[in-house]
Every structure is written in structure tokens, then in C-alpha cells.
Amino acid sequence: MPRPSNPTRRDFFQGGWQNFWNQIADAIDIKEPLAFLGLDRSYVRLRREAMATDFEVLYCNYEKMEVRKTAMKILDEIDRVESVLTLWKGESELVRVNRLAAREPVPVGPEIFDLIKLAQTIHAETNGAFDITSTPLSRCWGFFSRQGRVPSQDEIDAARRKTGMEFVELNEAGRTVFFHKEGIELTPASLGKGLALDYALHAARRLGLTTVLLNGGFSSVLASGAPQWRNAWQIDVRNPLDHQRPLARIQLRDQGFSSSGSELQKIEAGGKTYGHILDPRTGWPADAVLNVNVTAPTALHAEALSTAFYVMGVEKTLKYCENHPEIGVIILQKPDAQGRAEIITSNINPERVEVLLTSCQAHRATT
């Protein structure tokens, strides 16, 4: 067996510096600070505002230069999906459905059909805890216009009479939507970002980009493939009680992730706080837990379930996960009398998730 040759000065300058910086990067998992050296352990990030948040396309800098054009097309796809789903920017396809579907079946594109079809499935599986016909309730509470108020019980009851997934009919053959009751309105609020990310990933793969991380704000993420130096993409799970200390770090590969909580949209009245995530079965804000984080095969699925689990609470969520091993969850419970908020997990692979805290202190809350 030949003896390994000693490295020469030429060998060092050809590969030594690369190995030197890679060893440092391995030790501290450094990312963007090495971008100026042109090394592989850095990312390129493109950002654009859509759906009232910042969407990002993150890919590795070893990709070819033309990938930047691909990333722009991915962001264009997110814009396209927003134009289909928006309720606030002109006559979108969803606005047309809400206006006409109680009169006649309305033909729709695959985006709205996919959204409603999954919503019907999750509605049935969660016994009504998830319902995209809850627009009248959100409007009643003022969350629809971001001008929160506490309505009377009569107002809530009147709004609930205009809701119900059982009144929404899909026709597979004609790809149409029909409402069996006047006043039904669909909202994309709990699904829109997930749907946009799923369609953006389809566009990325059609364009040849298979290693990419897509996110819509900090609450919706979709990972495809993994960087060459890792087994998966790594993200931090936001802690609503302390934004400086994440709850956990999750490694995602070909998975969606979604986080649901009411820390950013809430109102205070009569000494009580009301969050924007409503239980469609009662018409009142859900308050069983503080925060729910879900991993699922798609971003759309993760977003739907994070909302449903927030409404359902711990016991029913864990029961659901028992029957769906492909769904992972991290739940932050409400603080107890001592201010400690316990963390509960299910179907979380310990090799893919590092839970950084066993509990949180409510008094650590930061803005």
C-alpha cells in the first residue's frame, strides 16, 4: 500500500484554505459570514412581500448564477397564488367564488380546489375545529379588518349561522364550488401561505432547483432537499414568551412546517386577552394552549393542522397524532400558577429535533 504523500505548498493553496474554512464552519455551523469567500457553506436569500408578510427563497451559493433568475420566478409564483386567493385586492378568483357560489356552481382553478379539498378533509378529521367558512366570525370580532372588538353573544350567534363546511360542495368532474347556503364565505387566512409555498416548490422543481428552503414569515416553511454539508435544513422554532430563546431547532427535509399562536393578533378588554384564532364551533377565541408547531408532508397540510391543533388543545391533538405518524407537533402550553409553560411533543424524531427548553417562564416575554 503506497504511503500518503506529504502536502506540498501547491496542495495547500489549492485546497488547504478551503479545508481550513470548512473545518471552522463545521465547528460553529457558520452560514452567511462565509459568503464573501465564495465557499459552499453559505446561502443566497431573496425576499419579497406578499400576503402581508415577507416570503423568502433560500438556496446554497454553490448553485449556478442563473438560479437567481429561477428564485425570482419562484417569488413570482407566490405573487400569482396571492392574486388568486386575496380578499383585499380587487376581483380575485376567491372573491368571485364568495360572491357567486351560493347562486350556482362556480368553476375554479386548481389552487382554490386544492385548498377547499384539504380544508374539508381537516374539518372532518378534527370534528369541526378547522373551518375556512369562519369569515363572518372573524369579521364579527374585527380581526378581518384588524380592528378587534368583543362582540355580543347575539352577534356571534348570527355570524355562526353563516358558517359551516357542510354547506360547501366540490364537484371533482367539473372542478366547481357550490354553497348550499347564503352568506357562506371562504377565508384563506389559515391556508394561504402554505398553499403558496407548495405551488412555489412545484415551480422550483420544474425549473431545476431541488435544494431550496421557502418561508412565509416565521410561521410557514417548506424545505426541499438539503445543503451539501447537512442532512437537512435547520430552522429555529419561535418562542412567544422569549424571542431571544427559541423553543427548539428542527431539521426539515422535504417537509412543511407551520406555527400558530395569537401573540401578534389579539385584543384586550375587561382585563382579558382575546386571540385571533377562533373556535368555529363556539365562535369564541381558542385559548387552550399558547403555541402549536407542526411538521407535515406539505406546507398546506402543516398550516391547516397548526390552526386546528391550537383550537383542539393538547389531549385531542395528541390523539390525532397517534393515528397520523407523519404529523409531528411541538406544543407550548399556557403558563401555570408559577408562570411555567410546559412543552409537549409528539411524533418528533429526536435525531431531527433538538428541544432547547423543557419549559418557559411567562415573565421573560419580550417584544
Distance CA 231, CA 87 (A): 39
d(C-alpha 305, C-alpha 33), whole Å? 36
Task: Return per-residue pLDDT of the chain as tens, 367 residues.
Answer: 444 444 443 333 333 444 444 444 444 443 443 333 334 457 888 999 999 899 999 998 777 777 889 999 999 999 999 999 999 888 999 999 999 999 999 999 999 999 999 999 999 999 999 999 999 999 999 887 777 789 999 999 999 999 999 999 999 999 999 999 999 999 998 899 999 999 999 999 999 999 999 999 888 999 999 998 889 999 999 888 887 888 889 999 999 999 998 776 777 777 788 888 999 999 999 999 999 999 999 999 999 999 999 999 999 999 999 999 999 999 999 888 777 888 999 999 888 888 876 666 553 433 2
DSSP 147: -
- Position 11 scores a pLDDT of 36
CB 333 within 8 A of CB 342: yes
Grid coordinates in use for 60?
A: 446554497
Q: State in words which class domain 232-364 has.
A: alpha beta
How high is the pLDDT of residue 334?
Answer: 86
Residue 249 and residue 241: Cα distance in Å, rounded? 16
Q: What is the CA radius of gyration of the chain?
A: 23
- pTM for this one? 0.84
CA distance 112 to 109: 6
Q: How far apart are CA 359 and CA 343, in angstroms?
A: 6
Contacts of residue 225, defined as CB under 8 A and 6 or more positions apart, other chains included, come to 210, 211, 212, 253, 254
